[in-house]
A and B are shown apart, each in its own frame.
Chain A
Amino acid sequence: MSNDNIINKQLLLNHFAGNSTPLQKKLIEEWLTFKENMELYYEWLDEWENDNAQFVVDDKKAFQKIFAEKDEVKIESNIPIRFLYKKLAVAAVVIFLISCSFLLAKETIYNKTIDSAYGEVKLVILPDGSTVTLNANSSIKYSRFSFGDINREVYLNGEADFSVIHTKSNQKFIVKTKNKLDVTVLGTQFSVYSRNANDKVVLRRGKVSLKYNENLIAKNLILKPGDEFTKNKSGNDKVEHINNTEKEVAWKNHDFLFEGTSLADIAEMLNDDFGVTAHFDNESLADRKISGSFHAEKAEDLIDAISQLLDLNYKTKTNNVYFFE
């Protein structure tokens, strides 16, 4: 370490402040090739950051957030619970016990369910002012009376886009699906897709936390804007970052955006969104791919677009369409 006399703490502190000359930078770079010096580097960097704080940080609040997300099972033991949450937890239990008997007997009165028909895009405004745009053939359900009391919970089957209002009391908004996926938010914009055994969440603004089971293991995940989370039938989950989140909700305008999408997948959408079952003359037709955007308010619109693009003929009969060449 022949640079001992030149490289000292003061030099590094000056360097962190942006006052090192090119020559000194070169010396530091050479000095850093030794592992002990790297440790020193971080030690002095940490000291410098402590002495030159850029803003006031409430680390207590941050710490609590991490432990709140850490392990919900442990909340009863020695993890610090804010007095308010404890009160709410007790209140929740009491209300649950009281309302249990009512709920079991009178599901339809105490729960509000809103459905959309095939081919219909429906806008729903929740009691707290949050809006939900339901895609075709989807439904949401929430407690008519206690929505917004303790928390805001909705059950979704199908596909919907959410625009959740952030409440002053930081009340969580949770979307639950049949596949036992919980999407928790404070106030943000995101869409959830849950059909058959597949789930997908795309976050546009804000932050959401997900809770779900993958092969019997409980998992927690936090999404950032631009993230797309998918979980399929076999229980495989993954998160991808996508550029254009708006195109994920093109359905709100009755637009369909295809990017090399196979006819088989489109057939599934025809069924999910319009209730029409597609049949193909031969197997290879299902593998044909389509790219482009189509506006389709009725099944006929989409079927027409497909046939024109791929030069196919078709016949319709009640809720079925038969494609052939």
Chain B
Amino acid sequence: MKKMNDLQENEVQSTDEYPLKRQIDDEYEKYSANVLDYEAIIRNVLKSNPEKGFELIFRRYYKPLCSHAIRFVYSKELSEDIVSEIFTNFWKKKHYENVTTSFRAYLYRSVRNAIYNYLQSEYGKKSSSFAVVYELEEKVQETDTPHNILLFDELSRQIEVAVSSFPPQCQKVFILSRFEGKANKEIAEEMNIKLKTVEAHMMKALATLRSCLSVYLDI
């Protein structure tokens, strides 16, 4: 308990781009080994200084959440977009005041929901409205059943299997396009193949993915 009080009294002056002193960073690094306590620290800090608390949550969970997201959406930019949006709303709408579970569970659930919505709108019937994403954030816990969790894990695995099974050239094109976000023309130049070939590879990859996802989405 002693450590928590020390942290609350520290000033908020920045030496680098994050507004927390280096000293606090070390304290938290030591604490992050014990994850449950870390959540308790965050809760405490949030009460007295929401900005500081939010920053702690962000630094702790942003990276792993992005990594989690990319397994489904396969795009660096998109996964960061999705996760950033979750955090932005988390802050702007003050969701942190209403979280009854750990922030970790809340954030992972929210991100998984957002991923699901994205996949649904990308590959499925284009009927989902933007507003649905926000709504679901409040009902996040309701939709997070054991069955859905396993289903989602299975989806992740299936996507991995599907991408691994692409023929080598096809896989390389897909990764350069989706993961790296490169334009078809760039890919054609880099791989020294025709633009039409790149487009054909992408079409094949997306078609395979779509049929793989059709089991899990409303397509």
Residues of A within 8 A of B (CB): 15-16, 18, 25, 28-33, 38-39, 41-43, 45-47, 49-50, 52-55, 57, 59-60, 62-66, 69-70, 78-80, 207, 220, 222, 224, 226-227, 238-241, 243
Chain B proximity of A61: nearest CB distance (Å): 9
* 29 A-B pairs whose Cβ atoms sit less than 8 Å apart in the complex: A16-B153, A18-B156, A18-B161, A25-B150, A28-B146, A28-B150, A29-B146, A30-B146, A32-B150, A38-B149, A39-B102, A41-B149, A46-B35, A49-B68, A50-B63, A53-B63, A54-B67, A59-B62, A63-B18, A63-B58, A65-B84, A66-B58, A80-B19, A207-B81, A238-B131, A239-B129, A239-B130, A241-B121, A241-B126
Query: Which residues of chain B have C-beta atoms less than 8 A from A50's C-beta?
Result: 63-64, 67
* Bound-complex Cα distance A222 to B128 (A): 17
CB within 8 Å for A66 and B157 given contacts A46-B108, A241-B130: no
Query: Which residues of chain B have C-beta atoms less than 8 A from A55's C-beta?
Result: 66-67, 70, 76, 179
Instruction: Tell whether B199 is near chain A: CB-to-CB under 8 Å.
Output: no
Instruction: Tell whether B178 is near chain A: CB-to-CB under 8 Å.
Output: no
CB within 8 Å for A45 and B92 given contacts A18-B157, A80-B18, A243-B126: no
* Bound-complex Cα distance A42 to B149 (A): 10
B70 touches A62 (CB 8 A): no
Query: Which residues of chain A have C-beta atoms less than 8 A from B153's C-beta?
Result: 15-16
* Bound-complex Cα distance A42 to B80 (A): 20
Query: Which residues of chain A have C-beta atoms less than 8 A from B80's C-beta?
Result: 57, 62
A42 touches B85 (CB 8 A): no
CB within 8 Å for A66 and B64 given contacts A42-B104, A241-B129, A243-B126: no
* Bound-complex Cα distance A246 to B198 (A): 24
Interface centre among B85, B92, B128, B146 (most CB of A within 10 A): B146
* Bound-complex Cα distance A178 to B144 (A): 44
B58 touches A59 (CB 8 A): yes
B interface, over-half SS:
helix
Instruction: Tell whether B61 is near chain A: CB-to-CB under 8 Å.
Output: yes
Residues of B within 8 A of A (CB): 12, 14, 17-19, 35-36, 55, 58-59, 61-68, 70-71, 76, 80-81, 83-85, 87-88, 91-92, 101-102, 104-105, 108-109, 121, 126, 128-131, 144, 146-147, 149-150, 153-154, 156-157, 160-161, 179
Chain B proximity of A180: nearest CB distance (Å): 20
CB within 8 Å for A78 and B126 given contacts A32-B146, A66-B88, A69-B88: no
B12 touches A240 (CB 8 A): no
Query: Which residues of chain A have C-beta atoms less than 8 A from B76's C-beta?
Result: 55
* Bound-complex Cα distance A42 to B146 (A): 12
* Bound-complex Cα distance A224 to B150 (A): 29
Interface centre among B55, B59, B76, B88 (most CB of A within 10 A): B88
A29 touches B150 (CB 8 A): yes
For A18, give its contact among B104, B150, B160 (CB under 8 Å): B160
Query: Which residues of chain B have C-beta atoms less than 8 A from A59's C-beta?
Result: 58-59, 62-63
* Bound-complex Cα distance A45 to B150 (A): 13
Chain B proximity of A301: nearest CB distance (Å): 32
B67 touches A57 (CB 8 A): yes
B70 touches A70 (CB 8 A): no
* Bound-complex Cα distance A69 to B121 (A): 26
Query: Which residues of chain A have C-beta atoms less than 8 A from B81's C-beta?
Result: 207, 224
* Bound-complex Cα distance A255 to B49 (A): 55
B91 touches A70 (CB 8 A): yes
A63 touches B55 (CB 8 A): yes
Closest to A20 in B: B153
Query: Which residues of chain A have C-beta atoms less than 8 A from B108's C-beta?
Result: 42, 45-46
Interface centre among A49, A60, A70 (most CB of B within 10 A): A49
